[in-house]
Amino acid sequence: MAPIAVTPDNVSPERNTVSVKKVLSNGSSPERTPRPSIDAAVRLNDGNTIPQIALGVYKAPNGEETEAAVTAALDAGYRHIDSAARYANEEACGRAIRRWLEETGTPRDEVFVTSKLWDADHGYEPTMKALLDSLDKFGLDYLDLYLIHSPSDDDQKRLDSWRALEDAQKFGKCRSIGVSNFGTAHLQHLLEHATVIPAVNQIEIHPFLQREELVEICKKHNIKIEAYSPLARGNKLEDERVVKLAKKHNKTPAQILLNWSASRGNIVLPKSMTASRIESNAQIFDFSLDAEDLKVLADCEENYVTGSLHKTED
Ligand SMILES: NC(=O)c1ccc[n+]([C@@H]2O[C@H](COP(=O)([O-])OP(=O)(O)OC[C@H]3O[C@@H](n4cnc5c(N)ncnc54)[C@H](OP(=O)(O)O)[C@@H]3O)[C@@H](O)[C@H]2O)c1
């Protein structure tokens, strides 16, 4: 992978924590080695860092095709895989991750693994059991991030599931915990009762669905946004405004959408099963969208929802 050292100046200061760690105790910086942009990371409210780009594996089969995609991502420099019990591919992801770690001699803690609690498993005991089942399928001792995939309609069950996540974090079964598909009301209810503030809210977000109000609430509580379906499932890559920006920056339409999200400090989770796309989807930090470009993308808002788990108005 060709290293790219350029860091756009419109990104969160928490980006590139890998480089930040390298600041010496006397305050000077070590000799600068170019870092691949793919190293960009975001600091979570629990102090952990999360690689800003992940390979998403929704709808990826539990077999060799997914193992190949995960391996291609790791080879390309990704250090973050976003799976879920619901995707039914934790085994394939786990096989690929464990094999890659072993073959490259990379320590486990250099790859960030996310899974999610499915809706059928809400409640304290079922949540604990589901998490252990996911760990078993991955063949891992802990997850880096475990999320409630979508909020139960039952207030008590939702809180019980969250309490299980808090305990699982205490027991070391997952390093960070968060939620997904939580709207403002779900978040506010959780915050009133939680001991641990979720580290992330994983929601559908892209220029065609910007969700400013929910983003503001997450910001206020230092809950990072994980942008799912950041390519609007590929449905907006031919939008003429996006294509025009891609030509202007000599980038692909996908890279324009991913840069938009990453430059807002979001963690971005593009899914692809195609090695060349996996690689190019991570080459998004070597250019900046200017104010005019951002205005064009701001005007793309049309409340375009692709996901069925997006349950709330906000
Ligand atoms: N928490 C949740 O409820 C939730 C819901 C949805 C998604 N997610 C997460 O977010 C991830 C991404 O979302 P998503 O899978 O819905 O959609 P997405 O990443 O927005 O789009 C994926 C689609 O775009 C295509 N694609 C990828 N890169 C491309 C490129 N450079 N050029 C052209 N087409 C490209 C892919 O095709 P190929 O595979 O053929 O390359 C695939 O059809 C998921 O995999 C999952 O990890 C979470």
With H, G, I as helix, E, B as strand and everything else as coil, classify residue 16: coil
* Residue-level pLDDT at 276: 98
Q: Nearest-CA neighbor of 299 among 205, 204, 203, 208?
A: 208
Q: Which residues lie below 8 Å from residue 139, measured CB to CB, with a gap of 6+?
A: 91, 94, 95, 98
* Residue-level pLDDT at 36: 44
* Residue-level pLDDT at 234: 98
> Which atom of ligand 1 lies closest to the CA of 149?
1
Considering only CA atoms, which residue is closest to atom 29 of ligand 1? 277
* Residue-level pLDDT at 313: 66
Q: To which residue do tokens 């990453």 refer? A: 262
Are 177 and 115 contacting, i.e. CB atoms less than 8 angstroms apart? no
Q: Is pLDDT larger for residue 5 or for residue 12?
A: 12
C-alpha span between 307 and 232 (Å, rounded): 9
Which sequence positions are flagged as catalytic? Answer: 87
Average pLDDT, the chain: 89
Give the pLDDT band (50/70/90) at residue 64. Answer: very high
C-alpha span between 281 and 268 (Å, rounded): 10
Considering only CA atoms, which residue is closest to atom 25 of ligand 1? 234
Considering only CA atoms, which residue is closest to atom 8 of ligand 1? 228
How many CB atoms within 10 Å of residue 303?
9
**Average pLDDT in the 173-182 region?**
98
Helix (H) or strand (E) run with residue 132 in it: helix 124-138
Q: Are strands 200-204 and 112-117 parallel, antiparallel or unpaired?
A: unpaired
**Average pLDDT in the 8-19 region?**
32
According to CATH, the superfamily of the domain at 17-24+37-235+268-275 is: NADP-dependent oxidoreductase domain (3.20.20.100)
**Average pLDDT in the 186-202 region?**
97
> Where are the chain's structural domains?
17-24+37-235+268-275
- Binding-site residues, ligand 1, Cβ < 6 A: 56-58, 82, 149, 180-181, 202, 228-234, 237, 252, 254, 269-274, 277, 280-281, 307, 309
- 266 pLDDT higher than 90: yes
**Average pLDDT in the 291-307 region?**
96
**Average pLDDT in the 305-312 region?**
76
Cα radius of gyration rounded to whole Å, the chain? 19
* Residue-level pLDDT at 311: 62
* Residue-level pLDDT at 310: 63
Considering only CA atoms, which residue is closest to atom 21 of ligand 1? 233
> Which atom of ligand 1 lies closest to the CA of 309?
3
Q: Is pLDDT larger for residue 103 or for residue 37?
A: 103
Q: Is pLDDT larger for residue 35 or for residue 142?
A: 142
Q: How many CA atoms lie within 13 A of 308 on its CB side?
A: 2
Is residue 149 part of an annotated ligand binding site? yes
The one-letter amino acid code at 69 reads A
Give the pLDDT band (50/70/90) at residue 314. Answer: low
* Residue-level pLDDT at 308: 76
What separation in Å is there between the alpha carbon of 271 and the centre of ligand 1? 3
What separation in Å is there between the alpha carbon of 225 and the centre of ligand 1? 16
C-alpha span between 183 and 201 (Å, rounded): 9
**Average pLDDT in the 114-138 region?**
98
**Average pLDDT in the 83-108 region?**
98
> Which atom of ligand 1 lies closest to the CA of 234?
24
Question: How many percent of the chain have pLDDT more than 70?
Answer: 87
Query: How big is the CA angle at 196 (ends 194 and 197), to the nearest 5 degrees?
Result: 85
**Average pLDDT in the 145-151 region?**
98
What separation in Å is there between the alpha carbon of 40 and the centre of ligand 1? 20
CA distance readout (Å), 146 to 39, 168, 169, 304: 21, 9, 9, 27
* Residue-level pLDDT at 115: 98
How many CB atoms within 10 Å of residue 29?
10
- 228 pLDDT higher than 80: yes
**Average pLDDT in the 19-44 region?**
54
Are 200 and 225 contacting, i.e. CB atoms less than 8 angstroms apart? yes
> Which atom of ligand 1 lies closest to the CA of 228?
10
How many CB atoms within 10 Å of residue 266?
25
C-alpha span between 279 and 76 (Å, rounded): 6
- 43 pLDDT higher than 70: yes
What separation in Å is there between the alpha carbon of 94 and the centre of ligand 1? 19
In the 3-class helix/strand/coil scheme, how is 200-212 assigned residue by residue? EEEEECECCECCH
* Residue-level pLDDT at 193: 97
Q: For 214-221, which contacts have Cβ atoms below 8 Å and span 24 or more sequence positions? A: 214/183, 214/184, 214/187, 214/314, 215/264, 217/184, 217/187, 217/188, 218/187, 221/45, 221/187, 221/191, 221/197
**Average pLDDT in the 154-164 region?**
97
**Average pLDDT in the 226-248 region?**
98
